[in-house]
Structure 1
Amino acid sequence: MENRILSEEIKKIFLEHKGRYGSLRIAKTLELKGIKVNRKRVARLMRLIALILCGTRYRYKF
């Protein structure tokens, strides 16, 4: 039950940011909303929902 509600929040944040937020950013966003959750739990739920990040075209220069 709790995972289902959390999964909906994760999906909403992921789609709101056009698929560019990973588990770390989503966990921090949830913490700002008042939902205390571990990054590993967010990553596991993202795998279960099948949310895959789309990369950007920006390349870092070293």
Structure 2
Amino acid sequence: MSFVLVVLVWCVLFVVAWPLALLAIFLLPLLWLLSLPFRAVAVVLEALLAFIKAVLFLPARLLGYRG
């Protein structure tokens, strides 16, 4: 559903301001490629924080706390 909405918005933009729509078509894939390293860093940081949380709560889980 989201893709259909994006296509419809792009079609309206193409009718209203076609140079801006063409610029968006070429720039959005480049922006997506530039954001990939930041997404990878976010995944690694999320995993690291989950690991730290697991290590910190390990003594309580070993003693039988079920939270």
**TM-score, length-scaled by structure 2:** 0.32
Q: Greater relative contact order: 1 or 2 (C-alpha under 8 angstroms, separation 6 or more)?
A: 1
Which has the larger share of helix? 2
Greater Rg by CA: 2
**TM-score, length-scaled by structure 1:** 0.34
